[in-house]
Structures are given as C-alpha cells and as structure tokens.
Amino acid sequence: MKKYCFGIDVGGTSVKCGLFSAEGDVLDKWEIPTRTEDNGVNILPDVADAINRKIEEKKLDKEEIAGIGIGVPGPVNENGEVPCAVNLHWGYVNIAGDMERLTGLPVKAGNDANVAALGELWKGGGAGYHSLIMVTLGTGVGGGIIINDKIVAGSHGAGGEIGHAHVEDAITDPCNCGNCGCLEQVASATGIVRLAKEELSASEEQSLLREGKISAKRVWDAVKEGDALAIRVAERFGEYLGKTLAVLATVSDPQVIVIGGGVSKAGQILLDYITGPYQKYAFSACRGTEFALATLGNDAGIYGAARMVL
C-alpha cells in the first residue's frame, strides 16, 4: 500500500512542491526557484533534487511512494512529453522519462491548467463530481476538461484550451495565440478591461470607472456599487463566457463548471452574470449543470499533480 506522493507545479518563476498523503492531505509544501537559463536544463534536476532531499529529510521509504505528478505550462501529451514550453525556455522534453530516471519513482506529467482542473475536481470547487469544465480567469483564460476523473489532454496537447475558442468576429487585433476574437480577449482580466474601455468610450455616461486606472477588480467593485456602466461590462462578459460554456457543454456535458483565477475573487456575483446566459444558450439536458467557484487558489496545481499518480 502506497502512503505518499508528490505533487509538483512548475511555473515560470517558481516551482510549487507538495508532499501528500494517499488520502490527499498536504503533509509538506514548499517552493524552489525555476531556473530558466540554458534552455531550462536545470529545472527538472532541481525538482528531482528537492524531492530526493525531502525523502531523505522525512526518512520516507521509496516503496511507500506512489509517484510524482508534475504540471508544466505547455502542451503535454499522454506519454508525459512536451514539444516546447515557452515560459520554461524548453524545446522538446520527455518530462516523465527524465524525472523517472532522476528519482527512480513513477512520474506522470500534464499541462498545468489541466492539472489544476483535476485538483479542483478532487479537493476543490468540483469535489464530489467526476466530470468538469474548469475556466481560469487570470491575465489570460486557461481551461481544463475532466471526464470520468481523467484529464482530456487532447491529441495535440490542446485539450481544454478554451481561452482560444473563437467568440467574436468584430475583434481585429490579435490574441497572444495569433488568432483574433478569442474568449481570452473578452473574458480574462485584460479582456474585462477591454470591454470597460469600449463602454467608456461609447458614451459620456458617469461611472466610477471614469477616474484612475481600470482593472478587472475595479470593474467588479463598481458592479457591486451598482454602477450602470460597470454592470453593462459584466453583462457583456457573462454573455460571452456563458454562451461559450453552453457550446462547450455540447461536447463534454460536465457535471459542474468551476470558475477560478484572480478574476473569480469577485465571488458569487461573477457566477450570477455567467449562469443566466449559460442557461439561455445551453442544450436542454445540460441546462441544470452546476456552477462553482474554485477554492484551492494557487494550490490547485499541486493537488491535481498529486491526484494524477494516486
């Protein structure tokens, strides 16, 4: 019987590490820097070193360790390989193979957004369910799809890349991905700022947003104050996101849709603006799909990574 596992979340500046019990309790949690120099050649050896030292420090028996789960910011295929990961300065890396060699433990690797979705399903906003769509609203829009407790990695590592669903023909400036009119351009923190600027320049109407630098947080604060212009921004955001989720639900038909990322700190009011349009556009059988806020914050990645090997 395996008693422990490691959950690792590799980010562009730091690597979050967790030692978990087989029940999913965090026994230890720490961070190491991500050394991206020299094409990130040190990243996996650094992680392996951190794990090996933790095993020594805690006097763990390797026989009792189920393995290491690891999430990275890039398209990871089902063999644990990534063709490239821009933020880590990586070209092709066989994450699972390299890490197994460095630690002598079984390793599973996945895309960080997909892995975070698995974490939220296991111990977060989607706990108790087996299938979910997770949307992470931050600087960009990340996504992860889980079906029957398994990540949908996709045949090109693009499973769950819902931030790049095309939603608006009228947008002619390119998204970071190169396309125009992606969900990310209207539903991320920067997308919400875009919508607010459009509303502000479309009229002379008074608004709390007329003064100072606009941010997604200020938009949601203004919504809570009853600011009519900010409410229009929230409605447009909700229409884009709710409608897109209704389309995506015709593919995977999840039990629950979980909304996370910095923007989700606005709380329940955010869900209220999404669920109305969702229900309007959803296929009848999916109209009652649950919505929930993510609860694990920045720890979703290490939870999901641990879950992959349990």
* Residues near a copy of itself (CB under 8 A): 75, 130-131, 133, 143, 145, 147, 152-167, 177-179, 243-244, 246-255, 281, 283-286, 288-289
CB of 287 to a copy of itself, least distance (A): 9
Structure tokens at 186: 């209207």
Cβ 146 to a copy of itself, closest distance in Å? Answer: 11
User: Which C-beta is closer to a copy of itself: that of 124 or that of 159?
Assistant: 159
Judged by CB, which is closer to a copy of itself: 258, or 302?
A: 258
Residue whose CB is less far from a copy of itself, 152 or 196: 152
User: In angstroms, rounded to a whole number, what is the distance separating the alpha carbons of residues 184 and 162?
Assistant: 8
Q: Are 20 and 5 in contact (CB under 8 A)?
A: yes
Q: 49 or 290, CB closer to a copy of itself?
A: 290
Nearer to a copy of itself, 157 or 301 (CB): 157
Q: Which residues pair with 293 in a beta bridge?
A: 259
CA nearest neighbour of 108 among 117, 100, 118, 116:
100
Whether residue 25 contacts residue 128, with contact meaning beta carbons closer than 8 Å, is answered with no
- Among residues 27 and 251, whose Cβ is nearest to a copy of itself? 251
The CB-of-64 to a copy of itself minimum distance in angstroms stands at: 30
Residue 74 CA to residue 110 CA, distance in Å, equals 8
Looking at the Cβ atoms of 18 and 144, the one nearer to a copy of itself is 144
Q: How far is the CB of 274 from a copy of itself (least distance, A)?
A: 15
